[in-house]
């Protein structure tokens, strides 16, 4: 019996050493091919970007967004709300999303004719279910699901996941985390830039011309597409889940009294660093807005115009709060495809030049997945990648947890 236990322990030690050897090989490899996975607060699907990362820069090899099946999306959104969530739902979804994320990597590699074995690392943000940043004397917490053990097991590729908790443990908000990648990719020698990602929530990153990472300022400005998506889903009885190109909003007029009241939300007056999510601008907020618009007998196009104007105005207020000149704003995320929203931002922020990231040669939809590929590469090399000036953390820390591949 004792001999059997010793043999088992010996095998475990060998396997552990094999895992450590794999990690050491990745850590010392000059160029890494990383698959970055991102699923945002809109819960539309998973973005997959395959990126080659080397000291001289990174190159996007392939990208695609794989939509969640409608039933799965409903379950994810149910899991995000305390009134509809349950422990068993979150438990099941954690593994179901792990399977979906793994399948997405395999599928993109096959479609792009990239050998799966050539991918060194997977970096998965996961699906945020709940995010509670620290408030005054209350400690924060956050939960992203999409089990990385399943991803590593199905693909055979070492996987880094669960990036946000370490920053919160170090006293930060756990978000935003992409400013590290923003600084690496978009700092300009002469121009002050703002990177604005408009997903379910909108966030901005200020990059001073030729600035250092320690000078980066970043925070969530408020809702991005979240409220607009919820409203049009309700208006169309589920036939549409987003206002394609902002077409409906462009036909309406924002209701000034409603917009004025929306802009009184306390989050907008909160100083940075700050983050937000469905907890403040989710289903309950959207339902309250929808009911008020119904009582005022607003036309659907005016409802959407009001919601779109709210997003634009909160982004503009965030930029004004920087109290720094901005030469360029670069938009990415799903909201950058909303032409009405982009037009409002150009008007609100004039004379600042407002661009969509595609104008710079990077797919605006891919930017978040590419960013987490970069963060995963830093983690596997044992290097910090949070930005304390943005998250409020006490110090730079290495983010994420590593699950060795086969």
- The DSSP-derived string for 218-233 is EEEEEESSHHHHHHHH
Burial class (CB in 10 A: 0-12, 13-18, 19+), 8: exposed
Summarised one tens digit per residue, pLDDT across range 51-71 is 999 999 999 999 999 999 999
CA separation for the pair 214, 388 (Å, rounded): 8
Residue 136 has pLDDT above 90, yes or no: no
Q: Is the pLDDT of residue 131 over 50?
A: yes
Q: What gap in Å lies between CA 369 and CA 35, rounded to an integer? A: 8
Tell me what pLDDT residue 11 has: 53
Which of 19-23, 46-50, 234-238 is least confident?
Answer: 19-23
Task: Find residue 328's DSSP bridge partners.
Answer: 193, 353
pLDDT on residue 33 = 98
* pLDDT tier for residue 27 given thresholds of 50, 70 and 90: confident
pLDDT at 252: 98
- pLDDT-derived band at 28 (thresholds 50, 70, 90) equals confident
- Expressed in angstroms, the distance from the first to the final Cα of the chain is 29
Tokens of 209: 């011309």
Structure tokens at 258: 């409603």
Give the whole-angstrom CA distance, residue 314 versus residue 309: 9
Q: What percent of the chain has pLDDT over 70?
A: 95
How many Å apart are CA 37 and CA 290, to the nearest integer? 33
Question: Given this model, what pLDDT does residue 7 score?
Answer: 56
Q: Compute the C-alpha angle 14/17/18, nearest 5°.
A: 85
Asked if the model's pLDDT at residue 385 lies above 90, the reply is yes
In the structure, what pLDDT confidence band is assigned to residue 43 with cuts at 50, 70 and 90? confident
Q: How confident is the model at residue 5 (pLDDT cuts 50, 70, 90)?
A: low
> What is residue 42's predicted lDDT score, i.e. its pLDDT?
81
pLDDT single digits (tens) 189-218: 999 999 999 999 999 999 999 999 999 999
Over residues 172-192, the mean pLDDT reads 96
The encoded tokens of residue 405 equal 């591949």
Q: Quick one: pLDDT band at residue 14, thresholds 50, 70, 90? A: very low
Instruction: Give pLDDT tens digits for 107-121.
Output: 999 999 999 999 999
> Looking at the predicted structure, is the pLDDT value of residue 10 above 80?
no
Does the CA dihedral 223-226-229-233 come out positive or negative?
A: negative
Spatial distance between the Cα atoms of 165 and 99, rounded to a whole number of angstroms: 22
Helix 70-80 vs helix 87-111: crossing angle, to nearest 10: 140
pLDDT at 138 over 50: yes
Q: What is the mean pLDDT of residues 289-296?
A: 96
Residue 137 has pLDDT above 80, yes or no: no
Taking residues 85-108, what's their average pLDDT? Answer: 98
Q: What is the residue-averaged pLDDT of the chain?
A: 93
What's the chain's length in residues? 406
pLDDT at site 20? 65
Q: Residue 193 corresponds to which tokens in the numbers above?
A: 């830039």
pLDDT in tens, 311-363: 999 999 999 999 999 999 999 999 999 999 999 999 999 999 999 999 998 89
**Which has the closest alpha carbon to 218: 385, 389, 98?**
389
Q: Is the pTM of this model over 0.85?
A: yes
* Band (406; pLDDT cuts 50, 70, 90): confident
Q: What is the pLDDT of residue 16?
A: 52
- pLDDT on residue 9: 55
Neighbours of 116 (CB within 10 A): 14
- Interatomic CA distance for residues 174 and 140, integer angstroms: 8
Q: How many CA atoms are closer than 13 Å to the CA of 205, on its beta-carbon side?
A: 32
pLDDT level of residue 18 (50, 70, 90 thresholds): very low
Q: Strand (E) positions, 133-285?
A: 141-145, 159-161, 193-198, 201-207, 217-223
Predicted pLDDT at 40 = 86
Distance (Å, whole) CA 9 – CA 3 = 10
Mean pLDDT of 270-291: 93
Q: Which residues face 60 on adjacent strands?
A: 51
Share of the chain above pLDDT 90, in %: 87
CB atoms within 10 A of CB 18: 12
- pLDDT value of position 404: 95
């Amino acid at each position: 019996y004792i001999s059997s236990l010793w043999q088992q322990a010996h095998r475990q030690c060998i396997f552990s050493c094999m895992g450590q050897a794999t990690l050491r090989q990745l850590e010392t490899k000059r160029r890494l091919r990383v698959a970055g996975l991102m699923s945002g607060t809109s819960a539309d699907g998973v973005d997959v970007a395959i990126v080659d990362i080397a000291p001289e820069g990174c190159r996007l090899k392939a990208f695609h967004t794989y939509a969640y099946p409608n039933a799965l999306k409903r379950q994810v959104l149910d899991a995000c709300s305390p009134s509809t969530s349950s422990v068993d739902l979150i438990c099941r979804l954690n593994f179901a999303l792990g399977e979906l994320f793994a399948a997405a990597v395999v599928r993109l590699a096959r479609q792009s004719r990239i050998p799966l074995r050539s991918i060194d690392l997977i970096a998965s943000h996961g699906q945020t279910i709940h995010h509670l940043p620290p408030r005054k004397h209350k400690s924060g917490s956050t939960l992203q699901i999409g089990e990385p053990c399943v991803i590593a097991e199905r693909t055979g590729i070492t996987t880094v996941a669960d990036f946000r908790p370490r920053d919160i443990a170090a006293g930060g908000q756990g978000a935003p985390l992409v400013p590290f990648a923003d600084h690496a990719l978009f700092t300009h020698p002469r121009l002050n830039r703002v990177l604005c990602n408009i997903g379910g929530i909108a966030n901005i990153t200020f990059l001073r011309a030729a600035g250092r990472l320690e000078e980066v300022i970043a925070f969530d400005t408020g809702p991005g597409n979240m409220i607009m998506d919820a409203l049009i889903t309700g208006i169309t009885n589920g036939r549409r889940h987003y206002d394609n190109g902002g077409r409906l909003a462009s036909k309406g007029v924002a209701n000034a009294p409603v917009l004025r009241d929306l802009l009184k939300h306390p989050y907008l007056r909160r100083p940075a660093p700050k983050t937000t999510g469905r907890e403040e601008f989710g289903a309950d907020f959207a339902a309250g807005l929808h009911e008020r618009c119904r009582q005022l007998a607003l036309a659907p196009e005016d409802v959407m115009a009001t919601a779109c104007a709210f997003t634009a105005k909160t982004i503009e207020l965030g930029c004004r709060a920087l109290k720094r000149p901005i030469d360029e704003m670069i938009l990415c995320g799903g909201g950058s495809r909303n032409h009405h929203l982009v037009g409002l931002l150009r008007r609100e922020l004039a004379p600042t030049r407002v661009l969509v990231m595609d104008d710079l040669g990077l797919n605006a939809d891919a930017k978040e997945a590419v960013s987490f590929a970069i963060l995963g590469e830093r983690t596997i090399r044992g290097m910090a990648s949070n930005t304390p000036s943005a998250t409020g953390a006490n110090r730079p820390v290495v983010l994420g947890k590593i699950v060795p591949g086969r």
